[in-house]
């Protein structure tokens, strides 16, 4: 796993924030959050998920992602917060909830989910429909997921995992996100009173990562100011 560590210029950071990118991204795609978090006094760690960036591997799924996150946590944890984007949010929820058998649960004090999916079941079935799977094909696909992950696909539902975790959570999602509709954010926000939803307009699924107001809002939340 390729990891990158950023230390604040003034003083020694006592708290660490982990950045987890999404599908087809890499650590660099989360770069917009580094400066605001450093300015708030945090050490920042970013890493490339398997098969992405400079990390080895040719594939990525939730079990592989959870294993890589757990490995990073063993070296750089504990974490004040984990800030995620897209599929990185699904991986992080599974890691925090201990949803992948054989992997220890990762811990953090706060969680940020940016443009994250709420339902892996829905995404799996949308994928099956898109490639023309019938009922038997879809059932076979979900059995494969069960074998690989050690749990049925329903165990990775975002609201279910968030309720089990119960961490102060900030959900940020754009109303015009065409890759993962805003309903995903709404479903996550209904997990409990510990979840706060912030909506943006016109940033889509990826440009949201480059918006300075979003990065500053994340830094304030991580620091406990919101």
Q: Which of 51, 62, 162, 141 is nearest to 102 (CA)?
A: 62
pLDDT tier, 132 (very low <50, low <70, confident <90, very high otherwise): confident
Give pLDDT, residue 174. 98
DSSP strand E in 34-134: where? Answer: 43-47, 79-85, 108-114
Q: Where are the domains of the chain?
A: 3-119+157-222, 120-154
Pairwise CA distance, residues 95 & 110, whole Å: 14
Q: Over range 40-67, report the average pLDDT.
A: 93
Between 57-61, 136-140, 150-154, 175-179, the lowest mean confidence (pLDDT) is in: 150-154
Q: CATH for 3-119+157-222, among 1.20.272.10, 3.40.50.2000, 3.40.190.10, 3.40.50.1820?
A: 3.40.50.1820
Q: Which of 86, 209, 105 is nearest to 165 (CA)?
A: 105
Q: Over range 77-89, report the average pLDDT.
A: 96
Q: Tell me phi and psi for residue 13, to 5 degrees.
A: -70, 135
DSSP 162: H
Q: Over range 102-131, report the average pLDDT.
A: 86
Helix (H) or strand (E) holding 95: helix 87-97
Give pLDDT, residue 11. 65
pLDDT tier, 56 (very low <50, low <70, confident <90, very high otherwise): very high
Helix (H, G, I), strand (E, B) or coil at 170: strand
pLDDT(192) > 70 = yes
The larger pLDDT score, comparing residue 194 to residue 101, is at 194
pLDDT tier, 12 (very low <50, low <70, confident <90, very high otherwise): low
Pairwise CA distance, residues 181 & 118, whole Å: 10
pLDDT(127) > 70 = no
Instruction: State the first-to-last Cα distance of the chain, in angstroms, to the nearest integer.
Output: 33
Give the CA distances from residue 115 to residues 53, 84, 91, 200, in Å, rounded to whole numbers and listed in that order. Answer: 20, 9, 13, 10
Pairwise CA distance, residues 19 & 17, whole Å: 7
């Amino acid at each position: 796993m390729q990891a990158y560590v950023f230390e604040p210029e003034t003083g020694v950071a006592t708290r660490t924030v982990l950045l987890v990118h999404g599908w087809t991204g890499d650590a660099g795609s989360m770069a917009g959050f580094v400066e605001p978090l450093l300015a708030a006094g945090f050490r920042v760690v970013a890493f490339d998920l398997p098969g992405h960036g400079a990390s080895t591997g040719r594939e990525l799924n939730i079990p592989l992602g959870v294993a890589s996150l757990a490995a990073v946590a063993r070296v750089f944890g504990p974490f004040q917060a984990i800030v995620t984007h897209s599929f990185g949010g699904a991986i992080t929820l599974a890691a925090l909830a201990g949803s992948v058998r054989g992997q220890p649960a990762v811990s953090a004090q706060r969680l940020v989910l940016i443009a994250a999916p709420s339902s892996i079941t829905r995404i799996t079935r949308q994928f099956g429909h898109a490639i023309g799977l019938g009922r038997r094909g879809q059932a076979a696909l979900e059995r494969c997921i069960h074998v690989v992950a050690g749990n049925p696909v329903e165990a990775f539902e975002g609201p279910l995992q968030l309720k089990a975790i119960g961490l102060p959570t900030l959900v940020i999602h754009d109303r015009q996100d065409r890759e993962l509709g805003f309903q995903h954010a709404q479903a996550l926000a209904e997990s409990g009173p510990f979840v706060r939803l912030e909506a943006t307009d016109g940033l889509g699924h990826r440009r949201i990562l480059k918006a300075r107001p979003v990065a500053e809002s994340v830094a304030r939340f991580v620091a406990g100011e919101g």
